[in-house]
Structure 1
Amino acid sequence: MTKKKVKLDLESDNIVDMIHRHADFSDKLINLIPARIYLSDDDKEKKWFQGLRKEEKVNAKRETIENLKKAKRYRLDPEKSVLTTLDLQKQKLEKEKEKFGIKPMFLGLQEDDTFEKMRERRLQKNKRKRDSGLNVVEEVVKDLTYGYVKIGDDDEEYAKNRKKKRVSKAKELEMAMKLENLKKDPEKGDILATKHSWKAAISRAAGIKVRDDPKRLKQRIRKEKNRREKNAEKWKERVEVQQKVRVEKQQKRSENITDRIQQKKMRKIAKREKKLLRPGY
């Protein structure tokens, strides 16, 4: 008798375990099926066409067909997420909460507070902190200029030099030659050379190019002159080639027009001779 009881208990335990496994499998299978197939939405129920005129029925039927097509495209789109039963039930609970005015149990959080919104607020707060720190740093280093070392009261002079227009090479050569002549003066030459070397060093430190060597300036002027002459020759050749091609095209066009006129005349003569050769004429 005891053996039979033990056997029955084991069988009942196996049956209960099997029922639980079947229930879990059924729940997972139902979640794979789109919930809108077997759950009706009260807000989107199909309306019957009874009591409508013929044109209204046609329009309503056309609208229904278009909505079905859109729903099918939405269902087959892999990028769109398909709502499960749990999702729809959550949406219905949220609608009921809004309808009956149910307030959240925790006063610290609002009803629409989600993890994403809380995370977004935290990121915005950190960004504001970083921006405030950057503003402080900018106020501290606003007097620094990259590639420029301020020496005494040369800041205004540097700003003026940056805004000046570039001097031509001929003018630079003239100034360099004048400076060389002044340096040869036995009385003021050394003082002027020292002053110019200091000024040139400050300008180079500020990122301004100093061209005070007459020999190099003459070479640059000569190279630029040769480059301009070569470019002028190339441009002249290009214009001549274009003119030649234009004349050849015009000549070819005139020849083609003359040939077409001559061919038209010959066709008219041949047609007239053919008429004269017919019997009875």
Structure 2
Amino acid sequence: MKLKDYRTSFLEKLTPLYDAVEAESFFNIALERLKGWKRIDLAMNPEAVLDAGEIAQWDNVLQLLEKQKPIQYIFGKAHFYGLEFEVNENTLIPRPETEELVEWIVKESKHKGKIKILDIGAGSGCIAISLAKNLPDAEVFAIDVSEKALAVAEKNAAANDITVNFILQDILEAASLPDTFDIIVSNPPYVRELEKAEIKANVLEYEPHLALFVKDSDPLLFYRKIALLAKSNLPENGRLYFEINQYLGNETAEMLENYGFKDVELKKDIYGNDRMVAAFLDSPPLEGCPKGGVVSL
């Protein structure tokens, strides 16, 4: 079978499940992974033929996509901020919105020289590794509760020739952080159970729920805990960055202000949703207490 004919069939079978642009992107990713070709290579070789073994490989990918398995998990690779990362069922697939968070940090930090950065909730290591790659004077640490996720992150750091200090830790059980940091960043679980209806099947059925979901009754659980720890482990004017639930931007910003952070900045992503927040640590109030109240974890 000619590859161009297989492409037509591939797209016809996927377009009932995915939009045309997404289906096309899946074909192009498979083309690169299975044949080592770019789109231009197919255009330059319109009569290229797939042998029986190649067709079997393509059919396997197609069948998994029809089951809505993410293509990043099919090939075990994802691109993020110009780097390639191994991903599997123990790690979230890196997303463009998170690239925007990394870009924000890089732009604000590239002239700061030697700084210490902590990423809480490392997953595949995409945030920590990308920051270390683009801020070569920074010393970067990353925490995750999952030993399996950290194993993936360590492989990704080695593959990208980057040093990150990885730490196995349940942040909700942490009494303190391992050091003082100039920057703390986190993309913690923030999707409420009530929002599951909005989640696509390829996410809901395949990506780790431990890294996705939080109870409806306490959606800011991780943010409060991290903000409290940051108060003791950021210097004055240290910077805290979060990726956030798009529906809870104002609530997250208000929480940070109540905990003594200043210049709280809420930022939208490329889709126009509240997705990031950053704040500076003000002169700390009484240890362990937010402004005007008592800490509740």
Q: TM-score, normalised by structure 2?
A: 0.18
Higher helix share: 1
Higher strand share: 2
